[in-house]
Structure formats: structure tokens, C-alpha cells
């Protein structure tokens, strides 16, 4: 009589935290394997049946997700020691046991869910938008040269996932560095024909405490960015622009460069 083949399983060791003020702890889960699983589907399997490897019923693991196609940036977490998107992390390509941790750069809300508010506060600081008054039809806006539009599109892929901040050694509890993503967004909005009218304000924001001077040029950010954004190129470009802006501020707006 033929014996049944043993069910293949996946082991996950998850760093959990019950509240923002509680201490983290690890909990191990073992779930059935399925073809083409990603980390999100593994977490959903635990949510469906929240029982740890000891057979104890526990609370479902908390994490954030939205688009499930590496566009929203919500499911960022540390997977086997590397910050990345859980939706794009395929189980078959990961060493087991799979270790999941929250990003350490941000305050933990619960389990793998973190508070990325400081990223959005940084975008507010550098005015990462194009202010247009009125809801009426203003007509077609100015056109951008195709070459400029193409590289600006690459910068626009930023999804505020936080991975570049997690990898940057200059983003820590002893620093208020704004981070590479915000610097790159200044370059994006300053390149827009309409956004350029607020160029000086954005550059002034980068010259404040915690701005571009906080970059140590480790270049970790460009290596881990899931969208392949040329962050170090943006930082170099904004270094030049802030130097020019400082001269303009000193000599007046009519300074020629």
C-alpha cells in the first residue's frame, strides 16, 4: 500500500510587537506550501489560521498591504535581513526559515506594521507638490521636452515605501536627516515647468537642518530602491542646486550663474 507524501511546509519566524510601547518577541509559524506563494500570501495563510508552531492559538499577525503589485509601498518589511516589498518577495526564492521583521527606522504600531508619517512630513517640508489655485480649467500646461519627461518619470516612481531610509546609515535616532527619497522628489518637482516657480522654496528647505547636508554618500539607497530610482544622481544634482541657491540668497535673486 502506497504511503501518502508528506506535505511540504514553510517556516516563518516573525518578530511581533503587541503595541507601540510593548517589547518585541519572536513567534514561529509553519504553514502549508503552495506554488507561487509570496510573503503576503504566507501571512494571509497565518491570518486564516493563527496557530503557531507549538500548536497554540495566537492573534493574527498585523501588517500593511494595498496594491499587491509593488506600486503602493505599504507592505515594506525586513525579509531575511533585507528591507523590501513583501508582495514581490517570492517564497521559492527565499532561504528558510523566512524571518520577517518590521523596519527599524520607523515606530512600530503592531507586529510588522510601522508608522511612516515622518516620510510624509518630509514631503510636506520640501513642498513636494505643484500648487495650482482654482478648480477651473486653466487650459493645457507647458510641455516638457521628451528627454526631460523620461527621466522625470523615473523619479516619479517613488512610492514612499521607506526602504531607502531603512538602508541609509544616516537615518537614525541621532539624526534628523530628511532622507534620499525627499531629495529626489525636490529634483522631480523643480524640473516641472509649473513646479519650477517654487524651486527656491524647495531648495531652501533642503538647506535647513536635517536636509541634504546630512547625506554621507553611502549610496545604500540606490542599491535597495525597489523601483530603481537614480537617488544618488538626484542627490548630486540637488547638491549643485542648493550651492547655487545659497549664492542667490546671499547676493540676491539677480545673481547670475
Paired with 28 in beta bridges are 13
Query: 9-114 has which CATH code?
Result: 3.10.20.30
The pLDDT assigned to 3 comes to: 46
The pLDDT assigned to 139 comes to: 78
CA distance 87 to 210: 32
Query: 117-251 has which CATH code?
Result: 1.10.1060.10
Other Cβ atoms less than 10 A from the Cβ of 203: the count is: 23
- In the 8-state DSSP scheme, what is residue 38? B
> Which grid coordinates belong to 73?
509601498
One pLDDT digit (tens) per residue for the chain, 257 residues: 444 446 799 999 999 999 999 999 999 999 999 999 999 999 999 999 999 999 999 999 999 999 999 999 999 999 999 999 999 999 999 999 999 999 999 999 999 999 999 999 999 999 999 887 777 777 777 888 999 999 999 999 999 999 999 999 999 888 899 999 999 999 999 999 989 999 999 999 999 999 999 999 999 999 999 999 999 999 999 999 999 999 998 887 655 54
Nearest Cα residue to 87 out of 153, 15, 36: 36
Find how far residue 254's CA is from the centre of its chain: 38
Domains of the chain: which residue ranges? 9-114, 117-251
The pLDDT assigned to 253 comes to: 61
CA distance 200 to 214: 19
* Ordered alpha helix ranges (H), the chain: 39-48, 117-125, 146-155, 163-167, 180-191, 199-206, 220-224, 231-251
CB 226 within 8 A of CB 161: yes
Q: What SS3 state is found at 99?
A: strand
pTM: 0.88
CA distance 43 to 151: 36
CA distance 183 to 55: 48
The yes-or-no answer to whether 9-114 and 117-251 have a common fold is no
H or E element: which one contains 11?
strand 9-16
> Which grid coordinates belong to 222?
540606490
Nearest Cα residue to 229 out of 191, 178, 194, 183: 183
The pLDDT assigned to 138 comes to: 74
Amino acid at each position: 500500500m502506497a504511503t501518502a507524501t508528506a506535505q511540504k511546509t514553510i517556516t516563518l519566524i516573525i518578530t511581533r510587537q503587541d503595541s507601540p510601547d510593548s517589547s518585541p518577541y519572536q513567534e514561529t509559524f509553519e504553514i502549508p506550501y503552495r506554488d507561487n506563494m509570496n510573503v503576503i500570501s504566507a501571512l494571509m495563510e497565518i491570518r486564516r489560521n493563527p496557530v503557531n508552531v507549538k500548536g497554540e492559538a495566537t492573534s493574527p499577525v498585523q501588517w500593511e498591504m494595498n496594491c499587491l503589485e509593488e506600486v503602493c509601498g505599504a507592505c515594506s518589511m525586513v525579509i531575511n535581513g533585507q528591507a523590501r516589498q513583501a508582495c514581490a518577495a517570492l517564497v521559492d526564492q527565499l532561504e528558510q526559515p523566512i524571518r520577517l521583521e518590521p523596519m527599524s527606522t520607523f515606530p512600530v504600531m503592531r507586529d510588522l506594521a510601522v508608522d511612516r508619517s515622518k516620510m510624509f512630513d518630509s514631503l510636506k517640508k520640501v513642498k513636494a507638490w505643484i500648487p495650482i489655485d482654482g478648480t477651473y480649467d486653466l487650459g493645457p500646461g507647458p510641455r516638457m521636452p521628451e528627454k526631460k519627461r523620461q527621466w522625470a518619470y523615473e523619479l516619479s516612481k517613488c512610492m514612499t515605501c521607506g526602504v531607502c531610509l531603512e538602508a541609509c546609515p544616516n537615518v537614525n535616532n541621532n539624526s534628523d536627516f530628511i532622507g534620499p527619497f525627499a531629495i529626489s522628489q525636490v529634483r522631480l518637482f523643480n524640473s516641472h515647468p509649473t513646479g519650477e516657480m517654487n524651486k527656491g522654496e524647495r531648495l531652501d528647505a533642503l538647506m535647513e537642518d536635517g536636509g541634504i547636508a546630512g547625506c554621507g554618500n553611502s549610496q545604500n539607497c540606490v542599491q535597495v530602491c525597489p523601483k530603481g530610482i537614480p537617488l544618488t544622481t538626484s542627490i548630486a544634482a540637488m547638491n549643485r542646486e542648493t550651492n547655487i541657491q545659497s549664492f542667490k540668497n546671499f547676493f540676491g535673486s539677480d545673481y547670475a550663474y
